[in-house]
Amino acid sequence: MELSRRHFLSGAAVVCGSAVCGCAQNPAGRSALTGFTSVEQDVAVGQRELPKLLEAFGGAYEDPRLQRYVDGIGKRLAQRSEMPDLPYTFSIANSPVVNAFALPGGPVTVTRGLITLCDSEAELAGVIGHEIGHVTARHSAERQGQQVLATLGMAVLGIATGSREVAQLAQVGAQAFLSNYSRKQEMEADTLGARYLDRANYDVSAMASFLGTLGDQSRVEARTLGMEGQIDQFNMMASHPRTVDRVEAAIAAAEAVRQEKPFLGRDEYLDIIDGILFGDDPKQGIAFGTRFVHPGLRFEFTVPDGFRILNSAANVMARDPEGAIIVFDMAKTRSADLRRYVANEWAANARVSGVEAFTVNGLPAATGATRGTVNNQPMDVRFVAIAGEGASVYRFMFATPPGRTASLSEPLRRTSYSFRRLSAAEAARIEPLRLRVVRPPSGATVADLAQGLPYGRFNADWFSVLNGLAPGERPQARDRVKVVA
Ligand SMILES: [Zn+2]
């Protein structure tokens, strides 16, 4: 969440959601030559969507040295593609989410979270090559649409508040926040990516090794979130459905299996990423598990166990695997009485019942509830407004499927009461985490080295994933390891 109050639209970036991002020609390969769109249109769409995509994923990560490095890898691969003259750009999104995106006509984006997970230059090149493959094959992504909006809580806002900004959002709702490629498109992107890697003399097997890491990361993340057996839709495995088998088949199809002295670049890579921010950037607020702390805006709150926090420029959202949603943001009020604010300003277009005043850690607050329909699903919606400085107000919106409203009532009440302002001294003490590359001291265990990670009892699992260690493998199996401090 950022200081500015650019509201909900900014959270609704479209990855490949425009109708003109067509499924037409495929200059990089075989199939379909019945195009609707020109490459020029692709380029225009990509350039238009890139700022929205970056904004939704934390803005650009500012690190000139890392940026030059990523540019170098990207250009090396793009020059060897079938469309070397496209205006490719290679952006790093300042987000701890692990993902990568391609927009039509050239913009490729990787997240900071993905960069920390890669273990060599060739692994990162594999991701970038795959994304360039989506660009050159001119893949359109299938749209998840409504379901994703519901997940993000945006449709809830529309129903409950009826505001104009949110009505505009509903228009965007036909498009997707995150797009899913088909398996066939993934296979094609892998085949093309493997071709570009081979031509640039990168170790092509890094594509498969990184996919293995991504699989491990998805599993550990699911376990951390209490969602075992499911894949979070923000995870790269959801938007790029791949398996190691299929990637190996793609490498074979690209005839990139036998390489002489290919380049892996592990040492170069570890040198470059030493010191990169890990997890959330404090400028945007930090989630420590279920606790969200914003040193810039000086507040904190804690969501119930099982909820996953997703922080964006516009607001902080959290959801649990069964579809309950929390949306936290800030607004301005014209009413001195927060009860009036809840009933007449915030939820002016909804019939709000049970409006009452209370206090949260000494701050005046008010609450009220309504029933709405979200994507044809009934939801109970509770509003909580807490007084901020001057005319500002902190807002929680809790949306729960009616069958779960009673059981979630107490945990969500605790979330409201967990809200508190931080003192300047408390805020100043909150430091970002950084990735450090160190030699594992002899005798150090995984548990020792995992101490700085923010995942509590899952720290050791995350450490192993970050370092590509098999369960039970000792850290000394690597000459250098990634730790967090
Ligand atoms: Zn893909």
The residue ranges of every structural domain in the chain are 8-141+176-278, 287-426, 439-484
Q: How far is the CA of 241 from the centre of ligand 1 (A)?
A: 7
Residue 411: pLDDT band with limits 50, 70, 90: very high
Q: Count CA atoms closer than 13 A to 303's CA, side-chain side.
A: 26
Q: How far is the CA of 179 from the centre of ligand 1 (A)?
A: 10
- Cα 269 → chain centroid: 23
Q: How far is the CA of 134 from the centre of ligand 1 (A)?
A: 7
* CATH code that applies to domain 287-426: 3.40.1000.10
Checking if the pLDDT of 74 tops 80, the result is yes
Neighbouring CB atoms inside 10 A of 82's CB total 16
Residue 182: pLDDT band with limits 50, 70, 90: confident
Q: How far is the CA of 465 from the centre of ligand 1 (A)?
A: 21
- Is 257 or 131 the better-scoring residue by pLDDT? 131
Q: How far is the CA of 136 from the centre of ligand 1 (A)?
A: 12
E strand or H helix that includes residue 461: helix 459-466
Angle, CA of 21, 27 and 28, to the nearest 5°: 105
Residue 307: pLDDT band with limits 50, 70, 90: confident
Residue 406: pLDDT band with limits 50, 70, 90: very high
Q: How far is the CA of 24 from the centre of ligand 1 (A)?
A: 17
Q: How far is the CA of 51 from the centre of ligand 1 (A)?
A: 20
Residue 287, pLDDT score: 84
Average pLDDT over residues 186-205: 94
Burial class (CB in 10 A: 0-12, 13-18, 19+), 40: exposed
Checking if the pLDDT of 272 tops 60, the result is yes
Q: How far is the CA of 244 from the centre of ligand 1 (A)?
A: 13
Residue 145, pLDDT score: 34
Q: How far is the CA of 298 from the centre of ligand 1 (A)?
A: 39
* Mean pLDDT (the chain, rounded): 81
Q: How far is the CA of 211 from the centre of ligand 1 (A)?
A: 11
Query: Position 427: which residue type?
Result: A
Query: Position 55: which residue type?
Result: E
pTM summary value: 0.74
CA–CA separation, 388 and 432 (whole Å): 25
Q: How far is the CA of 135 from the centre of ligand 1 (A)?
A: 10
Q: How far is the CA of 482 from the centre of ligand 1 (A)?
A: 26
Checking if the pLDDT of 153 tops 50, the result is no
CA–CA separation, 355 and 336 (whole Å): 15
